[in-house]
Amino acid sequence: FHGYGLNSQDQIKWVSNSATEDHHCDGHGYSTSVGAALHGSGVADGAVEFDVLFQSDSHVDGPWKMCYKFYNETTPWKLYGAMTVEVREFYSVSAAEFGETTVAVAHRQKHMTLDGFGVANGDRVRWIDTNTMNCTSEGVDMVSYEDVEWWETHSPTQAPTKAPTKAPTQAPTKAPTKAPTKAPTTAPVPAPSP
């Protein structure tokens, strides 16, 4: 945050979108942070860095508005209603076009349904090795399974363009179309006469 008279001990708080006056900052906040560092600024007197952690998404009362409190304890909270944040959250993979939501087959496209607040078309997902534990590591590809470039550069051979639409749901109903090709090795034994 850039401004004048800033201090590394300044605070920010995110409050309900219904807040319209400064005193609305005095109550509950969805996240409150104390400044982490004071920096120089090319556009103002200084800049304060804040680490912000939200415990929930903003589907209730959001997008949230920002309140700012200068380090001087006699200064009340000030509402900056034009500065808002929408906190998004991914909940789960809730469905798959076929098969389980936890299983995929290499080089086969699979459509999955992702649930969450703020999840939208154009979002991207990344599947990483369980040992990586870092989605920003070098060499970890952000994959869209409809991305033609990904298929061409990452698959060892030409990848199929379409996944199977459905797995078989019942056994075949027709008999074999060819007769056996070998004759019986022993002749049938006639039944005894009465």
| Each residue's pLDDT tens digit, 37-60 | 777 767 567 788 888 888 889 998
Residue 167 pLDDT > 70:
no
Q: Which of 16, 117, 26 is nearest to 64 (CA)?
A: 16
Q: Count of alpha carbons within 13 Å of 66, Cβ hemisphere only?
A: 15
Q: Give the torsion sign (CA, 163, 169, 171, 174).
A: negative
CA distance linking residue 16 with residue 58, whole number of Å: 9
- At residue 67's C-alpha, the angle toward residues 27 and 41, to 5°, is 155
| CA–CA dist 37, 22 (Å, integer) | 25
**Better-scored residue on pLDDT, 4 or 29:** 29
Q: Which residue has better confidence, 112 or 180?
A: 112
Report the predicted TM-score, pTM, of the whole model to 2 decimal places: 0.59
- The pLDDT tens digits of the residues spanning 105-140 come to 888 888 888 888 988 888 888 777 777 667 776 665
**Confidence at 184, pLDDT banded by 50, 70, 90:** low
